[in-house]
Structure 1
Amino acid sequence: MVRETSGPSGAKLQLSRELVFERAMDLADHTGLDSLTMRSLAVALGVKPMSIYYYVAKKSEILDGLVDRVFEEAASTRSHHDSTWQQAMRERAVTMRAVLARHHWALGLIESRTSPGPATLQHHNETLGILRSAGFSIEAAARAYAVLDSYIYGFVLQESTIPVGDTATVTDVAASMLKQFESGQYPHLLEVATAVVMKPGYDFGSQFEDGLDLVIHGLESWLDS
């Protein structure tokens, strides 16, 4: 069932469960997860808070739905035509990193929910299925999945917390830190800063796929054992 509500431009919109989650994701993207409340969501939808309860029972249901939308978005951007498990895991990792970069709030949320939705369950089941079909044992498949996610989530977290803003680049930050290396106490940090980070065109994010290839290559040994 749908109900009418007004959008930001004053145009009439059909209030629905889908629209509730769409606005909730917009709020989380633009103002952060902490600012997402039933009241702020009602304001964004142009309705009274009680109207939202017709579609969702409580905030935790919204959070579960947001996680499901993240996995749904990841699935919609994958080709699903990979010929090897290595290619499938590589594309999955690249896709998840891109989705998590668009929705920074999701990183700390996706592993905390206890009521996963269909898209979330399908994502996990499909990933494990690819690994099992490749020859991984049940235990090895579970471990491989955990290793891959640890790398993906860890890289996204590190990438999102680097002190780089609109007016500073990674090289700017490194340049400001060089003063702390002048004493000669940190020779290895100095050589990395000058020979790697401060080189023209350095991009921290470009290292993601190199590391991913190493992880996948390492997982291949589990098939042999």
Structure 2
Amino acid sequence: MGQQTDAARRTPLSRDRVLRAAVALADHAGIEALSMRSLAQELHVVPMALYKHVANKEELLDGMVDVIVGEIDPPAGDAEWRRAIRQRILSARRALLRHPWASRVIESRTNPTPGVLDYLNSVIGMFRAGGLSADLTHHAMHALGSRVWGFTQELFNTGPSAESSAGPSVDPELRAGELRAMAARYPHIVEIVLARSHDDASVVGQGCDDQFEFEFALDLLLDGFERLHRQGWTSAHRS
């Protein structure tokens, strides 16, 4: 351990090393634990040494986003456009699942980073290479929204608390009573919550199979874009 620490201290500091150490720290301790001081401690340097490579924490976060975006698989050049976009988005999803804090940081950026712009440009380019018009591609990107990054905001709280806004009850009889009361007032919500697929390892907790739900929605959107493309749809003549 001491030898590893000594080696880390001897390794020259660089922007890439700073950013990757910041990503590792956020993965291990959470994004809330990341500060210039905590990162300096992790790298065994004084905080001022970091400012030679990143101007401030905002620039650090921008760089961390680009490290994550760099983990997304490159476009599949020989694939049909729907399959190519699907593969790219699912690769983005895998990257963000490896770094659960990343989606919040991406959403928090005021200006897109170069890595973000490169990725979005690539996805748009795949639509255009598939023959979709710039008009339809514009609306397709809006429809995809955060799905282009591999995450979505859940419609329902997918854990047991979806059945009770007060949270799950330990007593099965009490919980059943809460569910009956919920069903009496919100029958359609309870109906579809109870019809859900279960995924105990879901990143959003026990409840819906979030990977299935994500792919289900993504495939619906891509199929819809293809249908509109074949129809020659334009926003100027929408009905």
Q: Smaller-chain TM-score range?
A: 0.7 to 0.9
2:39 paired with 1:41: yes
* Cα displacement string for residues 7-54 of structure 1 (whole angstroms, at most 9, x for unaligned residues): 894231212221101111112222222321110110111111011112
Distance (whole Å) between structure 1 residues aligned to residue 119 and residue 223 of structure 2: 22
Inter-CA distance 174–206: structure 2 relative to 1 (3 Å threshold): farther
Contact 2:21 2:43 in 1 (8 A): yes
Query: Aligned partners of 1:179, 1:110: CA distance in 2, in Å?
Result: 41
Question: Which position in structure 2 is the counterpart of 1:169?
Answer: none
Query: What residue in structure 1 maps to residue 222 of structure 2?
Result: 216
Change (3 A) 1:198 1:114: closer
TM-aligned CA deviation for residue 197 of structure 1: 4.5
Distance 1:123 1:148, change over 3 A: same
In structure 2, relative to structure 1, the CA distance for the partners of 1:54 and 1:95 (3 Å cut) is same
Which one-letter code corresponds to 1:123 in the other structure? Answer: Y
Residue matched to 1:26: 24
TM (norm. structure 2) is 0.73
8 Å CA contact 1:97–1:156 kept in 2: the answer is no
Matched, 1:12 2:7: yes
Check the 8 A contact 1:101/1:156 in 2, yes or no: no
Show the counterpart of 1:114.
111
> Pairwise CA RMSD of aligned residues?
3.3
Tell me: CA distance 1:202–1:140, structure 2 relative to 1, closer, same or farther (3 Å).
Answer: closer
Distance change >3 Å, CA 210–CA 16, structure 1 → 2: same
Contact 1:33–1:105, Cα closer than 8 Å, also in 2: yes
Q: Of 121, 124, 127, which residue of structure 2 is paired with 1:125?
A: 121
Given that 2:75 and 2:88 are in contact with CA atoms closer than 8 Å, whether structure 1 keeps it comes out as no
Report if aligned partners of 2:23, 2:64 keep a CA contact under 8 Å in 1: yes
How many pairs are equivalent?
Answer: 208
Question: Structure 1 residues 121 and 189 mapped into 2: Cα distance closer, same or farther (>3 Å)?
Answer: closer
Q: Which amino acid aligns with 1:191?
A: E
SS at structure 2 position matched to 1:97: helix
1:192 paired residue number: 192
CA distance in 2, matches of 1:199, 1:21: 34
Alignment check: 8 A CA contact 1:85 1:130 kept: yes
Partner of 1:94: 90
Query: Which runs of 5 or more structure 1 residues have no equivalent in the other structure?
Result: 1-5, 165-172
> How far apart, in 2, do the equivalents of 1:150 and 1:203 lie?
18
Range with greater deviation from structure 2 (43-52 or 92-101): 92-101
From the superposition, tell whether residues 211 and 139 of structure 1 become closer, same or farther in structure 2 (CA, over 3 Å).
Answer: same
Shift of 1:163: 4.5
Structure 1 residues 181-200: Cα deviation after superposition (integer angstroms, max 9, x where no partner): 22350433443344434699
Q: Which digits, 9 at most, give the CA deviation of each residue in 1:97-117, with x for residues without a partner?
A: 221222222212224241512
Q: Is the 8 A contact 2:65 2:106 kept in 1?
A: yes
Partner AA of 2:7 in structure 1: K
Secondary structure of the residue aligned to 2:5 is coil
- The TM-score, its normalising length taken from structure 1, stands at 0.77
Using the TM superposition, name which of 39-48 and 197-206 deviates more. 197-206
Residue 131 to residue 48, structure 1, CA distance change in 2 (3 Å): same
Q: Could you tell me which residue of structure 1 aligns to residue 178 of structure 2? A: 180
